[in-house]
Every structure is written in C-alpha cells, then in structure tokens.
A = this chain, B = another copy of it.
Amino acid sequence: MISLKVVLADMDMPNPTMLASGIMGETGGSLLAMAKGGAGALVTKSIGSVPRAGHRNPTLVELEHGYLNAMGLPNPGIEHFGKEMAEALMGGVPVVGSVFGATPGEFAELASRMEAYGAHAVELNLSCPHAEGYGMELGMDPEIVAGIVKEVRSRVNIPVFAKLTPNTHRLIEVAQAAEGAGADGIVAINTLKAMRIDVDMRRPVLHNLYGGLSGPAVRTVGVRCVYELYEALKIPIIGVGGVEDWRSALEYIMVGAAAVQIGSAVGRRGSQVFGDVCSGIHGYMMDNGIQQISQLVGVAHD
C-alpha cells in the first residue's frame, strides 16, 4: 500500500504538502479551503502582537515566473486570531501557527498563545524581507536566531520550526544555530529581496520599493538551500519556494525535504494544487515501486 503519510517532528500529516505562510492564511475560512484542496498541513499567516494593516498598495507584482510581494505582514493580531484558529482546526489536518516579533520574549509570547489556540506547531518567521525590524533583519544573525529559538523552545511544548532567509551566505550557520537552540525543524526558503521598476512611471511598483520574490523563479535557489541544509543538519527540513506540481515537490523531497510548502502556486492553480501534487507523487511512487514517501527523502545525495 502506497502511503504519502509524513510524521514531521511528531506532527502526523496525511501527505507532505503544506500551505505556506502568508497565502490564504489570514482567515479560518481560507485555511479550511486549503485543507479541502488537499493540503497535508496548514501554516497560518505570520501573526504579530497587535493588528497591523501592512504596507499600502501596490503590495504585489505579477511576473511571468512568479510574484513580488511586500504585503508588510498585515494581520489581525494574536488577540483576534483565536477565532480563526478554531475554524482552521476543523480542517482535520495539523495547523502550524506562524508568528513574527522583534524580541525573543515577543516571539515566545506569541508562540505560547498559538499553542493555547491549539496549534500543532509554531513557525518562527525569521525571514520576511520587507518589514523593518522583523524577519530577515533578525534571521541573518546566528546568535539572534539562537536566542529567539531558545526562548520559544522553553515556553511551548509543540514543535518549533524556524523559517529562514536565503538572502545571506550564512544560511547554514543560522540553521545550525537554530538546531543547536532546540528547533525541531527548518523551513527554507522565504522570498528573495527584489525590486521591480515601472518604466513608464519611472519608479518602483511596490509602495514599499522592494519586496520578496517567490514562485518558480526561486525554485532552483530553494532546492540548493535545502540540499545544503540536509548535509549540515539532523532535524527535518521543510522545503518551500516555487513548488507548483509533483515534479517540483519531488525536487525538494529528493534533496532532503521531509515536506514541502506551497504558496505562490495557489494564486493561479487554486487550492486543488495540493491534491494535484499529491496524486502526481502517488503516480510516481506507483511507477517506481515506492511504498513510503520517506524512501525518497534525500535520494539526490547518493
């Protein structure tokens, strides 16, 4: 019997696809819709301590090969997010609460609120490239990252994932620091810092000037990062960046990802992208006589 089941740091998932943070993850209803589409786990929008409107529009640019976004971490704040979590949990798959903060204490507080709301794990956004004082600004420094992970780890009993940025040559160091501080998994990659100019208007399109590049354009960068992480770490890695079909999901799995997250592809393919990826993987396993998806994790290193 072919099985796509994954146990990710104690989290039981029916399949290795997860909704990536920030895409359709702000409301309980939209999270539920992704579970219906077949996602094996759901990551919420990154939630902060207080409501936040995010950057002014334009916050998104469509490119032929992906998207550029500078949403600026809009979110209703942790206080109001309990209702959304309650709804999302009805999807029957694990829900991972993504949080962002400026200090270890803020991260830990948010994480423990997420735990209280019933989150199966917490994901620390240490990698957003377009929100000053948050995200990537912290996530490029191994010591800061270790401090945050340690504090969170000591305050919650659910798995803690650290989501990292590829916008530095220190990715591996940072990941090892997170592992050393007790992280249960590494999520890579967040978006690449990027900018688009409107030549007619002679200015950057995004109101925030720069933003984060996602989608197929970043896939080869993400796959490279996961390959390198797999050689350097013992904890599981969750691959993200440009997954849009079963082949791109398997690229990540073969370089060492225990699971993959899908974000941008939801834009054009809708929630069924999760189901489509899974049935594609199932077909591949059938054709190749593979029973457990775990048999494929890391095979590209042999």
Interface on A for B, CB 8 Å cutoff? Answer: 63-66, 68, 140, 167-170, 192-197, 199, 202-204, 209-210, 213, 216-218, 220-221, 223-224, 227, 247, 250-251, 254-255, 284, 296, 299-300, 302
Closest 3 CB pairs of A and B: A194-B220, A65-B65, A195-B224
A194 x B223 contact (CB < 8 A)? yes
Tell me which of A66, A169, A210, A218 has the highest count of chain B C-beta atoms within 10 A of its own C-beta: A169
Chain B residue nearest to A221 in the complex (CB): B194
Q: A169-B140, A227-B210, A299-B202 are in contact. Are A221 and B197 (CB under 8 A)?
A: no
Which residues of chain B come closer than 8 Å to A251, judged between CB atoms? 196-197, 199
List residues of chain B with CB within 8 A of the CB of A224.
193-195, 210
Shortest Cβ gap from A247 to chain B (Å): 5
Q: A140-B169, A197-B223, A203-B300 are in contact. List 11 more A-B contacts (CB 8 A).
A: A66-B217, A169-B170, A193-B221, A194-B220, A195-B220, A196-B220, A197-B300, A199-B250, A199-B254, A202-B299, A210-B224
Is there an interface contact between A255 and B197, defined as CB atoms closer than 8 Å?
A: yes
Q: Which listed residue, B194, B210, B216, touches A65 by the CB 8 Å rule?
A: B216
B300–A254 contact, CB under 8 A? no
Contact residues in B for A64 (Cβ distance below 8 Å): 65, 216
Closest to A129 in B: B224
Given the complex, which residues of B lie within 8 Å of A194, measured CB to CB? 220-221, 223-224
